[in-house]
Amino acid sequence: MNDDATPAAATPSLTDRRKAALRLEIARATVELFTSQGVAATKGEQIARAVGISTRTLWRHFPSKESCVRPLLAESLDAATEQLRRCPPDAGLLTFLIDSCEHGTLPEADPTVLDLIRMTGTDPALRAVWLQAHDDALPVLRELLAERSGASPDDLRIKVHAATINGALRAAAEDFAQRSATDPGTGPVELAAILRTALHAAAEGLPY
């Protein structure tokens, strides 16, 4: 077999790319409806109509209206994980992330995602989707930390460290979303400060 075929095989097909784009479009339309009229008042038919697809197609992609927002959350977590992957092997991971905050190399916050994160604080079903998205990110973080340390992803210390980073990122995102709701001028500088505080707290362990 030609080795040149390997990268091509890893490239998502056109069908997969279109499917991913549709799922993101559905997610954004869902958040807009949730924001404008509330989660309880939003129906699957309205979401489907907003995107220009049938209700049957909508339910083929998602099992519930709340789960329709999942691609937006997954995209944000993927961006955070990708930032972690850029960390040089000889640099400390938390130091790298804190430096990234201070030098403004993090992606700008998406207002739609911020609206969604705020809603996860009051709607139990959306909260479950938010927490599940973070839970699903844990294996990726464990693999990343295992590669850097030479340990197994199943090592308890790796699991604890992955959960610590995951929790710090989640807490920082929730804190920033709430602050940006009361202060529209909140931006990248404030986000960097919040992330820096959360990551420092993660790095200091349990001083209790």
Tens of pLDDT, residue by residue over 105-161, are 666 788 999 999 999 999 999 999 999 999 999 999 999 999 999 999 999 999 999
Q: Under a CB-based contact definition with an 8 Å cutoff, are residues 165 and 141 in contact?
A: yes
Share above pLDDT 70 across residues of the chain, in percent, rounded to a whole number: 93
CA angle 98–103–106, rounded 5-degree value: 75
Measure CA 119 to chain center.
15
pLDDT interval class at 2 (50, 70, 90): very low
- Let me know if 130 is exposed, middle or buried by CB neighbors in 10 A (0-12, 13-18, 19+): buried
Contacts of 51 (CB under 8 A, 6+ apart): 22, 25, 26, 29, 58
Using one digit for the tens of pLDDT, what is the confidence trace for 9-20?
468 888 889 999
Domains of the chain: 5-68 (1.10.10.60), 70-203 (1.10.357.10)
Q: Which amino acid is at 135?
A: D
Q: Is the pLDDT of residue 23 over 90?
A: yes
pTM of the model: 0.85
Distance (Å, rounded) from C-alpha 141 to C-alpha 76?
14
What are the backbone angles phi and psi of residue 86, rounded to the nearest 5°? -80, -10
5: which 2 tokens? 């075929």
